[in-house]
Amino acid sequence: MPELDIVDLSMRFDLPNGSSVQALQDVSLNLKEGELMSVLGPSGCGKTTLLNIVAGFLAPTSGKIELNGHLVKGPDAERGMVFQKGALFEWMNVRENVDFGPRMKGMPKAERDQISGHLLDVVGLQDFKDKAVYELSGGMQQRVALARCLANEPDVILMDEPLGALDALTREKMQGLVLKLWKETGKTIILITHSVEEALLLGERLIVMAPRPGRIHREYNLPFAERGVNADLRDVKKSEGFAEMRDEILSMIWEMEEEIMGRTEQAG
């Protein structure tokens, strides 16, 4: 029984000037429990739109999404979200951010403290629990965002370029953390990224999307995430098949980008 079922999803934005954008067309996907899927594609191919529909922030023009057999109608605690940046609450300290979800559910303080304490240990921020979030570095803030999402025990975690605003070194460390959390918690995760390497490392499954209309172009099953759980990510990048895979996907995306450029030139 598949956990997350995305069926024939289409999304069209009607613009005020009368034209319309087909952001998604007939996208179908199955995600089993505990699967880690990364989504890659040129800018504007509808990745964010897809994630927002799964999260329940947008209703699709046609198609449906089912989670554990029931229809997704709006945002819910069963689907957690990690944003690129700016989604932490500056008026709360680190611990209050992390236990926001349980607090809203009315969980007693002792239990909440246990959850937030454990998660802050996992993301390595125990010493910062009473700090204001704006006093933390970008990488630390993303760790808080991860912990906040996990504290709520969602069935599915949706991440829209969660590491996109970080520098290369921090990013690499955070990739390791995401893999570790995935393995330890066994959550279903969809992760959008612009980095081909990140998509290879953080995806048992990798979806490459194509633009205009936004659709699934190719799908891969990859061994690298499993390898990365126990090994250094730098070694995984040197491991068998990684470089070839990266080059193949890079040139695929390059072709798509070039096609877009050509098309806009003709249109212009």
Partner 1 sequence: MIVLLFYIGLFGGAFFIVYTLRRGLHARKDFTSLKTVTFGDESAVRADRAASIISVLVIFVIWAAFTGSKLFPIHVPGPFVGDTQFTYTLENADGSTDEATVFVRVPAFGEEAEKFEVEPGSGFAKDDAFAAPAGRSSTILFDKNDEAKRKDGAKIIAINGMPIGPDIKVDTGDGAVRLTGKGAISFTPKQGLQMNPIWLPAPETVVARFFEIASEGYQNFSLWEHLGWSLLRVVAGFVAGALVGIPLGYAMGLSGWFRGWFDPIVEFMRPVPPLALIPLVIIWFGIWETGKIVLLFLAALWIMTIAARAGVSGVNISKIHAAYSLGASKWQIMRYVIMPNSLPEIFTGARVAMGVCWGTVVAAELVAAQKGAGMMIIAASKFQLTDIVIMGIVMIGIIGYGIDILMRKAESWLVPWKGQS
Which residues contact ligand ATP (rule: CB under 6 A)?
13, 15, 21, 23, 41, 43-49, 214
Task: Compute the distance between CA of residue 58 and CA of residue 39 in angstroms, rounded to an integer.
Answer: 19
Question: What is the smallest separation between the CB atom of 230 and partner 1, expressed in angstroms?
Answer: 31
Cα 231 to the chain's mean position, in Å?
A: 22
| 48 contributes a contact to Mg ion by CB under 5 A | yes
Tally helices (H) and strands (E) across the chain: 10, 10
| 211 contributes a contact to partner 1 by CB under 8 A | no
Which tokens go with 97? 């951010």
CB-wise, 84 or 185, nearer to ligand ATP?
84
| 105 contributes a contact to partner 1 by CB under 8 A | yes
CB-wise, 46 or 162, nearer to ligand ATP?
46
Give the Cβ contact number of residue 56 at 10 Å: 18
Which of 20, 59, 62, 90 touches partner 1 by CB under 8 A? 90
Q: Given the rule CB under 5 A, which of 43-51, 111-119, 124-132, 149-157 is the region that contacts Mg ion?
A: 43-51
Q: Does residue 223 have a cis bond before it (omega within 30 degrees)?
A: no
Strand ranges in the chain using DSSP code E only, listed in sequence order: 4-14, 20-31, 36-40, 62-67, 70-71, 79-82, 156-160, 188-192, 205-210, 215-221
CB-wise, 50 or 133, nearer to ligand ATP?
50
**Restricting to residues 138-167, which ones interact with partner 1 according to CB under 8 A?**
148-149, 152, 154, 158
Which tokens go with 2? 């598949």
Residues forming the site for Mg ion (CB under 5 A): 48
Binding residues (CB under 8 A) for partner 1: these are: 55-57, 74-77, 79-81, 83, 85-91, 100-101, 104-105, 132, 134, 148-149, 152, 154, 158
